[in-house]
Structure 1
Amino acid sequence: MNIFGKTIKIFLIDGEPNGRLTCELSNWTGKAFKIPRNKIKISANRPELENTGVYILFGKSSDDKDLAYIGEGEEIYKRIVQQVSGKDFWNDAIVFVSKDENLNKAHIKYLENRLYEIAKKVNRYNLNNSNIPTKSSISESDQAEMEEFIENIKLLTNTLGYKIFEELIHENQTIEEQISNTFYIRAARGADAQGQVTNEGFVVLKNSEISDSVTSSLNQSIINFRQRLINEGKIISNNNKLIFTEDYLFSSPSTAAAIVMGRSANGLTEWKLSDGRILKSVEI
């Protein structure tokens, strides 16, 4: 698969990195705005925000979990102003409009539904939407254009620091990529896990089995982490085995290995490819 570079133009409207900004992608008719909640009021004079578009609100829940709301509006600024009084969890809004004003109501309803579906599947953020957005019926050609629009939304949202649409493990990996980047731990007390190195850390894959007990010397913080994963349903007991219910991102391969093995572990030497090579030898 050929990977081509892309040019993204970011303009700091207020001249500061934490203020308002616009984000544009070369050869794309769309445009993104990132607007902090406390800058919504002074954004009324932005003509682009009078257009039809979709938006995402980002913040934290009461238990400090990442939380987002995905919505749409025919006059996007007015809709976001309503959300200032309607929802208090969010601190930043990212708005997507079309520079050629080519998005209609059916388009943005389609975009809203698809973005919701993708965010729900990726499962990095809890969603504040009380209902699943209705998916509009559009022509095959319009659908193709909107799917391309969505890919650019995903790219810019990730570039702006929000991984709400970013899969932990990309589904379009080739067989060769999977083989060369899938590491294994098969150890005592039932551990039988698979994982992959990513740009963000080390991901233990869904259905990986972890040890059914921990050693007495294991660091208490790891024991607490393991128990939290069980309490949150990330790890469940199934047929007398403890398994991951989803792909899970760890900050390091050693933390991942300790959780899987139930003991202190050096992930650089414990995680191995199918041919026996350790992670450390592959990275160097």
Structure 2
Amino acid sequence: MFNKTIQMFIFDGNPNGRIMCELSNWNGRVYKIARNELNLFSDRCDANNTGIYFLFGKNELNKDSIYIGEAEKVSDRLKQHLNDHVYWNECVAVISKDNLLNKAHVKFLEHKFYKLAIDAGRFDIVNSTVPTLSSVSEYDEAMLDEFISNAKLLVNTLGYKAFESISLNSNVKNAAELYHIKATRGADAIGYTVSDGFVVKKDSIVASTITPSMSENLKRWRENLFSDGTINSKNAFTKDYIFSSPSLAASIVMGRNANGRTEWKNDHGATIKQIEETQNV
């Protein structure tokens, strides 16, 4: 791994509007664009280069969502998405500055980024079908793999972790950094904190039933994890799964409203709250 130099240009001094990012010695360029500023983006000379794009929003459970697409003219395609139902409010477009990407290239990229998002499991993916993987030459595939690596880095830098593997984000070095919940109705789970939330490990068991007082939003979230196969019929997680907070993780595991900072405990019985307070003394 090498150190990287990132150049970032914030248009109009507004970090919530449009941002342009580049890496040294890379011909790619990444734009972050607020939905209501697409018209300003379209005025740029490279706005209609061939590229890929990601639409970011929230689903009905307030979980992060993403749509992954490609276009021969990115700006024109993004404007078409203004007619979509309001499932997104920001987009990220990735192009090459010299406009050397062709249709086969961006179809390849679209498929690869879709698979990365599936494997990461962080975002609800809005695409209704799996993008087709185009055939490219061995030379082009090597070039596109490097393009993906650089684009992932910049997208992550902009705050979108849709393509970042949970395992790569783990700061767990030994069993002492793991937290446990063993509670009523069969709940028996292990997890660990990460920079952007809390990961519940594969094979952790959730409570077999929920309490009547559990919030409707948490009930729907839990039901969704069963319906999409994240939790199986034996009440076990089928993969490592990242939640936005320890409390959300604890609530799903315990089948009730819960404060994760006091429910998750390490092997010595210390809670997340106690450990954080000790570290910050």
Equivalences for 1:34-183 in 2 at 5 Å? 34-61=32-59, 64-85=62-83, 88-170=86-168, 177=173, 179=175, 181-183=177-179
The AA in structure 1 aligned to 2:173 is E
Normalising by structure 1, report the TM-score.
0.77
One-letter code aligned to 1:199: S
Name whichever of 245-254 and 36-45 sits farther off.
245-254
The alignment partner of 2:16 has SS state of coil
2:270 paired with 1:272: no
| 1:231 counterpart letter in structure 2 | E
Q: 1:142 offset after TM fit, Å?
A: 1.9
> Is the CA contact 1:213–1:262 (under 8 Å) kept in the aligned structure 2?
yes
Give the conservation status (yes or no) of the 8 Å contact 2:218–2:252.
yes
In structure 2, how many angstroms separate the alpha carbons of the residues matched to 1:57 and 1:8?
Answer: 22
Q: Which amino acid aligns with 1:69?
A: Y
Q: Distance between the aligned counterparts of 2:183 and 2:160, measured in 1?
A: 36
Equivalent residues, number: 272
Alignment of 1:13-52 (within 5 A): 13-52=11-50
Asked whether the 8 Å contact 1:208–1:243 carries over to 2, the reply is: yes
Unaligned runs of 5+ in 1: none
Q: Secondary structure at the match of 1:50?
A: coil
CA-CA distance at 1:177 after TM superposition? 3.3
Give the CA deviation at 1:278.
4.8
2:240 is matched with which residue?
247
The answer to whether the aligner puts 1:230 opposite 2:226 as a matched pair is no
Change (3 A) 1:30 1:179: farther
Aligned sequence identity (%): 42
CA 1:258/1:124 → structure 2, altered by over 3 Å: closer, same or farther?
closer
Question: Does the Cα contact within 8 Å between 2:179 and 2:264 map onto a contact in 1?
Answer: no
Q: Cα deviation per residue 1:104-129 (whole Å; 9 max; x = unaligned)? A: 22211110111111122323333332
Alpha-carbon distance in 2 for matches of 1:49, 1:122: 29
Higher-Rg structure is 1
One-letter amino acid of the structure 2 residue matched with residue 272 of structure 1: N
Structure 2 SS opposite 1:244 = coil
How far 1:89 moved relative to its partner? 3.3
Letter in 2 for 1:238: S
Q: Cα 1:82–1:155, aligned 2, differ >3 Å: closer, same or farther?
A: same
Is this contact kept in 1: 2:35–2:90, CA < 8 A? yes
Aligned-partner SS, 1:48? coil
List runs of 5+ in structure 2 lacking aligned partners. none
Separation of aligned partners in 2, 1:237 and 1:78: 42
- Mean Cα displacement is larger for which, 178-187 or 91-100? 178-187
Decide which moves more: 125-134 or 196-205.
125-134
SS at 2:46's partner residue? helix
> Structure 1 residues 270 and 143, CA, compared in 2 at 3 Å: closer, same or farther?
same
Root-mean-square deviation (CA, aligned residues, Å) is 3.5
Residues 207 and 229 from structure 1, CA distance in 2 versus in 1: closer, same or farther, beyond 3 angstroms?
Answer: farther
